[in-house]
Amino acid sequence: MQTQIRLLASALHQQGATVAIAMGPGDFAPLEGVALYRLPAWSRRHPWKFLRATRRLVRKVDPGVIHGHGLRMALILRTLSAPVRVVTCHGIDPRRARASIYRTRLTKIPVVACGTGPQDLLARYGLESTVINNIAPAPGETHRREELLALLPEATGRIVALYPARFSEQKNHRGLLSALRAAREELGTLTPLIWCVGDGPLRDEIERDAASDEFPLLRLTPYLPDAASWFSATDFFILPSRWEGQPTVILEAVRAGVPVLTSTPTGVDDLCTGPWAQQVAPAELSRAIVRWARSGAPRVQASATRDFLAAHESSLSAQQHLRLYGNLGGHEGNISSSLAN
């Protein structure tokens, strides 16, 4: 979510909007032309400190638009005053969606959905939304295979996939390890090595489990802010999440020309419609790994992804957001925008 907030804020600034970002604790690098404000941490047990600070900030900035990110922000936006209030759904756990969506419906705050996956889930519980695609980050630094092998010598002679993700239940590292172990029954030493980059509450547990394999299947390293720059040195990207919204990481992989293999059942459908990706049922992930290991991952042609990536360009997203803000406010044109996180 933070990546998308940064990309959108920069794109809106480039379109001439005045943008401020309000955020809670944590690292957030400065953005050129964008004002940054700090808010106290949100707490369900003690929300008033956060609410009071947010109201003070809104009175100070006096924005034309307050744009919240995450459905829970709809309840907060309902208490704030601005000509336009809107909230974005970046993704929501289908198992916990009903109550959150019903609460959002009661606020009557307009909702933007990142992709058709979140939109379909919102609609299932009677909440209409406007789809605006996530932004594909611009190409950055890339790494060569030689650099990867220097960092991960155990990858020598093996197929390598990159999985940059927080170690949490949603990201399903357990399911990935299980699928790799099943694939190893057929592939043996030809089983791909998955490089898992990230931190999170389940990291130590997954690392201990993976360490029990004599033949390594996972290689864990801490969070890297530029993890996507390593896609160019790998063979494919694998995504075993239990659910997603419209994951930026797929856009980064496609931008790098790396094919995508995913067993995520919710939130990736509109990103996996081209020859650059294969979406399978969770139970079929191990079989798909075997197929890709034996026949090779499909090559990604830039000509095939050009139109797809164009639909995720930052300027297009900014224009769509500004148009939405104008329509909600009953006017078109430049408006001041404040994004709350």
Kindly state whether residues 153 and 83 are assigned to the same domain.
Answer: no
Give the DSSP H or E segment for 177: helix 173-187
The predicted structure's pLDDT at residue 340:
54
Kindly state whether residues 123 and 33 are assigned to the same domain.
Answer: yes
Kindly state whether residues 278 and 319 are assigned to the same domain.
Answer: no
The predicted structure's pLDDT at residue 334:
44
- Tell me if 214 sits within 8 A of 235, measured CB to CB: no
| Each residue's pLDDT tens digit, 71-89 | 999 999 999 999 999 999 9
DSSP-assigned states of every residue in 309-323: HHTT-HHHHHHHHHH
Name which residue leads in pLDDT, 25 or 196.
196
Residue 207 sits in a domain whose CATH number is 3.40.50.2000
Which residue type, as a one-letter code, is found at position 268?
V
| DSSP state for residue 297 in the 8-state scheme | P
DSSP-assigned states of every residue in 36-52: EEE-PPP-SSS-HHHHH
Kindly state whether residues 55 and 120 are assigned to the same domain.
Answer: yes
Kindly state whether residues 179 and 294 are assigned to the same domain.
Answer: yes
Is the pLDDT at 197 greater than 80? The verdict is: yes
Is the pLDDT at 291 greater than 70? The verdict is: yes
Residue 68 three-state SS = strand
Kindly state whether residues 113 and 155 are assigned to the same domain.
Answer: no
Kindly state whether residues 115 and 170 are assigned to the same domain.
Answer: no
The predicted structure's pLDDT at residue 336:
52
Query: In terms of DSSP H, where are the helices of 62-133?
Result: 73-77, 97-107, 116-124
The predicted structure's pLDDT at residue 63:
94
The predicted structure's pLDDT at residue 245:
94
Cα 211-214-219 angle, rounded to 5 deg:
45
The predicted structure's pLDDT at residue 332:
46
As a whole number of angstroms, the distance between CA 260 and CA 38 comes to 37
Kindly state whether residues 62 and 201 are assigned to the same domain.
Answer: no
Taking all residues of the chain, what is their mean pLDDT, rounded to a whole number?
93
Kindly state whether residues 154 and 43 are assigned to the same domain.
Answer: no
Is the pLDDT at 261 greater than 80? The verdict is: yes
Question: CB-based contacts of 137: which residues, under 8 Å, 6+ apart?
Answer: 3, 7, 228, 248, 251, 252, 255
Neighbours of 30 (CB within 10 A): 8
Q: Sign of the CA dihedral 107, 113, 117, 119?
A: positive
pLDDT band with cut points at 50, 70 and 90 for residue 297: confident
Kindly state whether residues 191 and 86 are assigned to the same domain.
Answer: no
Give the DSSP H or E segment for 279: strand 277-279
Kindly state whether residues 323 and 295 are assigned to the same domain.
Answer: no
Is the pLDDT at 314 greater than 50? The verdict is: yes
Kindly state whether residues 66 and 192 are assigned to the same domain.
Answer: no
Residue 229: domain span: 145-307
Is the pLDDT at 179 greater than 90? The verdict is: yes
140 lies in a domain?
no
Is the pLDDT at 341 greater than 80? The verdict is: no
The predicted structure's pLDDT at residue 162:
97
